[in-house]
Amino acid sequence: MPSILDKIIGTGSTKEPEAGGYSEIDLSEFEENIEGEVPRMYVKIAELTGLEQLPKLKEEVYKGNTLLIDISATKRDKLTLERVIKELKHVTGDIHGDIAGIGEDQIIVTPHNVKIDRTKVVVRM
């Protein structure tokens, strides 16, 4: 029978778990009771296909939500894309939010209490 110390820190063995075996982790001590609690902000996903969506996108940012917008469908229409980005930059200026591109096909728009760090996180293994 393993000692308490072995249960807490392990035996130091690097033996792989048996096939089909798993161990459950009880996360209940880390979870808070959030029933009835309303979030202050949502992260919403949108796909931009035309100018008709612009009022709804602006409304979501004014409500304090973060938008992750797929712009790949409008990349061919440079005029529409430039107008939408200009309008969203105006909104972020009004509310002191932030806007940035993510790769070639996405932009992120954040409300006043969220800033985008433009440096990439580098993970070395």
> Is 7's pLDDT higher than 70?
no
> Is 52's pLDDT higher than 80?
yes
Q: What is the sign, positive or negative, of the torsion defined by CA atoms of 28, 32, 33, 35?
A: negative
120 confidence band (pLDDT: 50, 70, 90)? confident
> Is 16's pLDDT higher than 90?
no
Per residue in 60-71, pLDDT tens? Answer: 999 999 999 999
Asked which of 15-24, 50-59, 89-98 is least confident by mean pLDDT, the reply is 15-24
Average confidence score pLDDT of the chain: 84
Neighbours of 10 (CB within 10 A): 10
Per residue in 58-106, pLDDT tens? Answer: 999 999 999 999 999 998 999 999 999 999 999 999 999 999 999 899 9
Q: What is the pLDDT of residue 17?
A: 53
> Cα–Cα distances in Å, from 106 out to 4, 9, 42?
50, 44, 18
Q: Quick one: which of 111, 103, 100 has its CA closest to 75?
A: 103
Q: What pTM does this model have? A: 0.68
Q: Give the percent of the chain with pLDDT over 90.
A: 59
| Domain range 43-110, its CATH number among 3.30.70.1560, 2.102.10.10, 3.30.110.150, 3.90.209.20 | 3.30.110.150
Q: What is the pLDDT of residue 105?
A: 94
